[in-house]
Structure 1
Amino acid sequence: MSFFSLWRHWARVERSRTPWWQWPNLLSLDAPLVAVAWLWMFSRFYFIEVQDPAVYGVLAGLVWVIYVVDRIRDASSSTPELRDRHHFHDRHRRVLLSLAALVFLASIVGFFLGVPFSMLWDWPRGYPASFAAFLQASLTHGMVVLGMAILFFFLGFRSNRGMDFALFKNGWVALTFAFGTAAGAHFYSYASVLDMITSFEALGFAFLCLMNLNAIELWEREEAAGEDYPQRDFLLSLPLLLIGGTSLWAALYWHDYHKPFYYSMLVASAALLMLDHFRVTLSARLLRVLADLALLLPLPIFWFWF
């Protein structure tokens, strides 16, 4: 089967009411999957040799809770810009809120009990961790991400649903998501949190997340309006070319050990750019799923490189 025939097959399948590939998005599982994947890549990038598996579960759980609560809150508003994911969360809000409460509690317990215990357990095998180091990391990495997440929820209560506010909110979501993901690996290093939030890697991943969110925002609004947004090239195409070119330059001229991370950003940005080129042949709901899948494409690079 050729590429174009496979593409047409996907276009026919996605016309059904709830195709199988939409369920991860409806259940808010796409964002936690992306977060866990990039946490693993950040761990390789930061030379983390000993890392507690509970960190992946805590990150996935907290990201899932934030997305579920945010979608239920959006579904409660009077905005007409609700999508399938919002209607699904509104119909099952009681079940999802109950599950979110349980997952949140399990994540908090796992962070404050499981993570420090495993750090002390791993200490004889070469990781010089202690409760003091754990508390210091919590007060730096944890508080920064927590503060950003609280401000994100505060922004959600704004009634302004215009494009300008949506782009501003997307920028803050991207920073919070990227720093929260990177903190799960940077947490184990001796570097300060300032080194993480000012690094090219964390900011580059945040920019990539912003392009993912902006692409979805544009595709959904353009499908509803029936026409292209006037500044779409400035908001999507040109930034994707910029991050792709910068990543290629960094991969060619920076340290060899860092090459897979920059190649990963190049592959993800190229995939988003290709999806935007084919946007007229697919619906916004399929494009949203594929946009998240584009952020998972770099996984094989790290898998075979290390």
Structure 2
Amino acid sequence: MPAELANPSSAAPGTPPWLWPHVLSLEAPAVAMLWLAALARINDFRLMPGVLPGLGLAVWLIYLADRVLDTIGVPPQQLSARHLFYRRFRWPLVLAVIPAVAATVAWLALWVVPVGLLAHSLAQVLPIGLYLVLYSITGRRTRRWLIQAGVLVLLFLLNTLPLPATVMVPVSLLIAGATILVFRLNWDEQVGRFFRKEVAAGLLFAFGCTTWTRFHALGSEGPDIWAELVLLGLLFVSNLTVITAREEAPAGAPGSGPGSVRGAIALCVGALAAIQFAYLPATLVPLTWAVLAGLVGLEILWQKRRHLSPEAFRVWADVIVAIPAAVLLLMPEASSSATDAAACCL
């Protein structure tokens, strides 16, 4: 029997309809777009054309690349449902789907969204590239080759900027020296041990979702803008942590998921106390309660994990993260009435 058929979680024609958004990696773009729209709503920032589809397609592009890279050099029997799909359709994705999505994102970035937002978003390209290389490439030689190629491109782009030689030469030497040091000390091999993939992915995801609000506040960033990033980061990191814990540990094992979620819940409660004592702006109340509700939902889901397959657990974890954003969008005048009501309750 082929390995794909022997694997009960394969993305075969019998895959249930509720699992296909997960197999196609559509849940992450949907969650990102919901939270971007929710943040714009509670901050009274009007969304300009191209911003929502641009973020959704960019997130989908990253997930497509991540899933394809995850399947390289891995036996089929060790792959999950989503990874089996990307292994089976690797070349159509690489030759057709990914270039088409990348071209659409480039068109939106260059001709639709504001120029300032494009410059603001480019700051995320380097950390996303490093994430894909460090966490999605399993082969050490391939990983190092890609890092070297990326450094060469970075040095080339740096030398095309109108910078004086007194600045360009030291910076180039610093980048080259740091790359050599990373290889000599095997730091690229140690990143995954000290900075887990779930943490890196959750923070990058939160950074992308808050790009529009940070762009609006450019030049006048207050603690509320960065607090939004931290709060969303807690939710997304907790989401990925419980999913990983469920997939890596037996259904009955305690795992490391609950500790991360409960720590994030404690930090959210601390944020509400900081708002009460005016250490943080009251405008953060709706978001803090929404994140707290999502974290409580993840804790409840973890307690029910024995009754769910890993695929169903992952789907429900993503639904739980999306629901608070949808509630913020459906609430009338979320930026004013929700803030006043929550502040009164405190």
Question: Is TM more than 0.5 here?
Answer: yes
CA shift for structure 1 position 94:
2.7
Counterpart residue type for residue 292 of structure 2? L
1:112 aligns with 2:110: yes
Percent identity over the alignment is 25
CA distance, structure 2, for counterparts of residue 242 and residue 35 of structure 1: 24
Measured after TM superposition, the shift of residue 229 of structure 1 is: 5.5
In the alignment, structure 1 segments of 5+ residues that lack a partner are 1-15, 117-133
- Whether the 8 Å contact between 1:240 and 1:273 is mirrored in structure 2 is no
Structure 1 residues 17, 144: closer, same or farther in 2, change over 3 A?
Answer: same
Asked if 1:246 is matched to 2:225, the reply is no
Out of 307, 312, 316, the position equivalent to 1:281 is 307
Distance 1:45 1:228 in 2: 39
Task: Show CA shifts across 1:79-138 (max 9, x none).
Answer: 66521100011112233331121011011111110113xxxxxxxxxxxxxxxxx34x43
Return the alpha-carbon distance in structure 2 between the equivalents of residues 196 and 147 of structure 1.
Answer: 25
2:67–2:83 contact (8 Å) kept in structure 1: yes
Rg: which structure is higher? Answer: 2
Query: Is contact 1:197–1:203 with CA below 8 Å preserved after alignment?
Result: no
User: CA 1:252 to 1:278, structure 2 compared with 1: closer, same or farther past 3 Å?
Assistant: farther
Residue 85 (structure 2) aligned to one of 83, 88, 97: 88
Q: In 1, Cα distance between the equivalents of 2:202 and 2:255?
A: 23
Q: Are the structure 2 counterparts of residues 26 and 230 from structure 1 closer, same or farther at C-alpha, using a change threshold of 3 Å? A: closer
1:259: how far off? 2.1
- Of 230, 233, 247 in structure 2, the residue corresponding to residue 203 of structure 1 is 230
- The aligned amino acid for 2:111 is L
2:154 matches 1:157: no
TM-score by length of 1: 0.77
- Which has the higher mean CA deviation after the structures are superposed, 165-174 or 294-303? 165-174
SS at structure 2 position matched to 1:115: coil
Name the counterpart of 1:69. 65
Greater Cα offset, 285-294 or 170-179: 170-179
CA distance in 2, matches of 1:90, 1:196: 44
Q: What pairs up with 1:11-50 in 2 under 5 angstroms?
A: 18-49=15-46
The alignment's TM-score, normalised by the length of structure 2, stands at: 0.69
Query: What letter is aligned with 1:268?
Result: G
CA contact (8 A) 1:72 1:93 kept: yes
Shift of 1:214: 0.7
**Structure 2, unpaired ranges of 5+:** 1-12, 141-188, 334-346
**Deviation string for 1:235-276 (max 9, x for gaps)?**
x34324324423544675665543221111011101101100
Which position in structure 1 is the counterpart of 2:249?
Answer: 222
2:54 aligns with 58
Q: Secondary structure, in 3 states, of the residue corresponding to 1:295?
A: helix
Separation (CA, whole Å) in 2 of partners of 1:34 and 1:82: 24
Change (3 A) 1:210 1:158: same
**Which secondary structure state, in structure 2, belongs to the residue aligned with residue 296 of structure 1?**
helix
- Asked if structure 1 preserves the Cα contact closer than 8 Å seen for 2:242 and 2:258, the reply is no
Letter in 1 for 2:308: L
Question: Aligned in 2, Cα 1:171/1:159: closer, same or farther, shift over 3 Å?
Answer: farther
Deviating more after overlay: 246-255 vs 87-96: 246-255
Residues 305 and 165 of structure 1, relative CA distance in 2, 3 Å threshold: farther
Shift of 1:297: 1.1
Aligned match of 1:171: 199
How far off its partner does 1:283 sit?
A: 0.8
Equivalent residue number for residue 301 of structure 1: 328
1:273 to 1:165, Cα distance in 2 relative to 1, 3 A: same
Please name the residue that 2:297 is paired with. 271
CA contact (8 A) 1:260 1:302 kept: no
Aligned length: 267
Once superposed, what is the RMSD of the aligned Cα atoms? 2.9
SS of residue in 2 equivalent to 1:42 = helix
Q: Secondary structure at the match of 2:322?
A: coil
Runs in 1 of length 4+ with deviation above 6 angstroms?
160-163
In the alignment, does 2:190 pair up with 1:190? no
Deviations 1:147-180 (A, max 9, x none): 2111111212245999964961211111111111
Are residues 287 and 183 of structure 1, via their aligned partners in 2, closer, same or farther at CA, if it must alter by over 3 Å? same
**Aligned pair in 2 of structure 1 residues 195, 153: CA closer, same or farther (>3 Å)?**
farther
> Deviations for 1:17-54, whole angstroms, at most 9, x for unmatched residues?
522111110011000000000101121243313x2131
